[in-house]
Amino acid sequence: MFLEINHLEKIFRTRFSKEETRALQDVDFNVEEGEFIAIMGESGSGKTTLLNIIATLEKPTKGSVILDQQDITKIKESKLADYRLKNLGFVFQDFNLLDTLSVRDNIFLPLVLARKSYNEMESRLQQIAPKLRIQDLLDKRPFEISGGQKQRVAIARSLITRPALILADEPTAALDYKNSEDLLNLFEAINQDGQTILMVTHSANAASHAKRVLFIKDGRIFHQLYKANKSNQEFSKEISLSMTALLGGE
């Protein structure tokens, strides 16, 4: 098994009182290598907390996260940044690009931190730039390109480290419909190339591009759907019905 989420529990405690908020309760599921999974749920359901734990940005109160046979919840704090750099790729809704750097240098940044040579960085970039249609953007600054282009650059930055897992947090939230579809089609393409993707989204349309959808309610896995041979449109309708049931408490 590529990724194992084992009985995760996360309790947040306020510093000066005994109040507790249980964000995750006995969350348990597996991810096969090469899967594309969407995680859905209403605000406060625990989906972002779950993503943050898998991203090693938060520690669970109980449970384990096994990625490629390593329990990443046990990694020492001093080694976490290096682990993320080598194993995880991140795509955020607000792009997180630096306007002071060119598009090329923004993409290179994680490899610079990993102390890769310029030749290797350029070689890797030339492999992914055509797929993401960013060859003509490399010498521009982020403030000179559109939101959809910025998100393609952010994907390039996440892919250039050749991560085991890409974690996407509401990646289409800042995009219009056309650019959202463009991004999601890119996700499908890189997934077909073998990249494992875990995406948090509130959009049934975005989730319909995934192979499987997990629904979280009150910190628990409430339901899951498999796409199988359904079209994106068919799957989107099925997802919407499940979200209606989720929100309605049926």
**CA–CA dist 74, 229 (Å, integer):** 38
How many angstroms from the chain centroid is the CA of residue 172?
A: 11
Report the pLDDT value the prediction gives residue 249, as an integer from 0 to 100: 55
Distance from first CA to last CA of the chain, Å, rounded? 32
Domain ranges of the chain: 3-96+164-248
Q: What dotted CATH number matches 3-96+164-248?
A: 3.40.50.300
Residue with tokens 């953007």: 137
Question: Which residues have a Cβ under 8 Å from the Cβ of 22 and sit 6 or more positions away?
Answer: 9, 10, 11, 219
**Residues of the chain falling short of pLDDT 50:** 250
Tell me the pLDDT tens digit for each residue of 106-130.
999 999 998 999 999 999 999 999 9
Tell me the pLDDT tens digit for each residue of 197-239.
999 999 999 999 999 999 999 999 989 999 999 999 999 999 9
CB contact at 8 A, 89 and 163? yes
Bridge partners, 6 (sequence order): 64
